[in-house]
Structure 1
Amino acid sequence: MPLKVEFQFDFGSPNAYLAEVAIPGIERRTGVKFEYVPVLLGGIYKATGNMSPFDSLRGIKNKPEYQALETQRFIRRHNITKFRQNPFFPVNTLMLMRGAVAAQFEGVFEPYFRAAYHHMWEEPKKMDDLEIVRNAFISSGIDIDRLIARAQQDDVKKRLIDLTNDAVSRGAFGSPTFFVGKEMFFGKDQLRDVEDSIVEQTRKPVPKTA
């Protein structure tokens, strides 16, 4: 069976955005395509008792500054030029994540995904305001009204909940989370290990000689 590699994301995570920018390079080098899996980060936090770095780092001396330094190092390493901090962060992404599942069901996930990330982290907007969301996606050529309507259907809502619960049951506690086969990796800074694991698990065994 081909190796299954998952990228579990929530549009509200800046680290998931930064990690995704590096994924195409890994795909080119390894020949393995990532599966993009929408999850509800808020649901994962609630199920695991975790919290966002925005909350967990508050009031800690020096650590937030170091985290910001590590982010800048990652941005330079991967030559990321479009990222902008969203002034409305944190943003409630329930509407966006249901839209991602609806877009997968409707076969328009790639343009929807690119537009969502663009308006969240490249030209940042308050992407939990319905009218702002509509105008943003319309400007990107997305039939957002169709997807908003589709996102209200029970199969979409159930699918997102199921994906989130499955992530937690397999060990996830935040985003971005990666699964390479059964191996889990958390955070953008683990991408080197993700790539190493892909190479290791797809390496063809050397035939034994008599």
Structure 2
Amino acid sequence: MTRTVEFILDLGAPNGYLAWYPLKDVVSRTGAELVVTPVFLGGMHKITGNSPPMMRDANVKGKVPYAALEFRRFLDRHGLDKFSMHPDLPFNTILLQRVLVAASDQAEMQSLVDLLQPAVWERNIDCSDVEVVAEVLASGGFDAERLLTATQDPEVKARLAANTEQAVERGAFGIPTFFVGDEMWFGKERLGQLEEYLSGGKP
């Protein structure tokens, strides 16, 4: 039986970018099905009381530098040499997340993720600039007008809010979060555990 891996994603999370490419490899190796669920990380943090690690851990001696070391090791291990930390982090991703929600199906949504991840985390676009986002979408062959118009649709807005609330209700508190059924993993460092589970191992 094919298992489904649900990726809880906000494009404004650098660890979401780092997890995306190795996750697709895991899915390919295990024969699993990938489903992306867009959420709004700012809303998730508000509901859970969480905050970005560099802010949350700023006063813990040694923790932020060590996190940066692990971050660099992950980039090197997976050959993610085009990554560039966005100078505006943390920034508002509500426009991009609504674009993902407005996708017609999972295939289009995942193609949008493939297009937008490097735009955000390699070229560091202004994620709140409608014209900039429109140019990126058009360059990828998408109907930018359709997608951007849909970001103002009350149904799209409500669906993103519902995705966020439901993810928190299931236990999510940050990005990247992965679900296989009711089993949850948090963090790019858990991809090995996720692959073991998909291959028949215990969670």
Would the TM-score normalized by the shorter structure come out above 0.5?
Answer: yes
1:55, 1:104 → 2: CA distance? 36
- Residue 70 of structure 2 is aligned to residue 65 of structure 1: no
Pair 1:132–1:59, CA change in 2 (3 A): farther
Structure 2: runs of 5+ lacking an equivalent = none
Pair 1:160–1:200, CA change in 2 (3 A): same
Report matched runs for 1:59-208 at 5 Å.
59-104=59-104, 108-200=108-200
- Residue 11 of structure 2 is aligned to residue 11 of structure 1: yes
Paired residue secondary structure (2:3): coil
2:95, 2:137 → 1: CA distance? 13
Give the percent of matched residue pairs that are identical in Structure 1 and Structure 2: 40
Q: Report the TM-score, using the length of structure 1 for normalisation.
A: 0.89
Q: Report the TM-score, using the length of structure 2 for normalisation.
A: 0.91
- Residue 34 of structure 2 is aligned to residue 34 of structure 1: yes
2:23, 2:17 → 1: CA distance? 10
Question: Structure 1 residue 157: deviation in Å?
Answer: 1.2
Look at both structures and tell me which one has the larger radius of gyration over its CA atoms: 1
1:201, 1:156 → 2: CA distance? 37
1:106, 1:22 → 2: CA distance? 19
Question: Structure 1 residue 84: deviation in Å?
Answer: 1.2
Pair 1:164–1:94, CA change in 2 (3 A): same
2:45, 2:159 → 1: CA distance? 18
Pair 1:95–1:129, CA change in 2 (3 A): same
Cα deviation code 1:76-110 (max 9, x no counterpart): 22122221111121110001101100024596323
1:104, 1:6 → 2: CA distance? 18
Cα deviation code 1:125-182 (max 9, x no counterpart): 1211223222333333332221111121122112111111110111001111001221
Pair 1:66–1:104, CA change in 2 (3 A): farther
Alpha carbons 1:119, 1:127 under 8 Å: kept: no
User: For this pair of structures, how many residues does the alignment match?
Assistant: 202
Paired residue secondary structure (1:138): helix
1:106, 1:165 → 2: CA distance? 20
Cα deviation code 1:15-60 (max 9, x no counterpart): 0110011012111211112211111111111111111113212233
Alpha carbons 2:3, 2:33 under 8 Å: kept: no
Alpha carbons 2:35, 2:106 under 8 Å: kept: no
1:185, 1:72 → 2: CA distance? 21
Paired residue secondary structure (1:200): coil
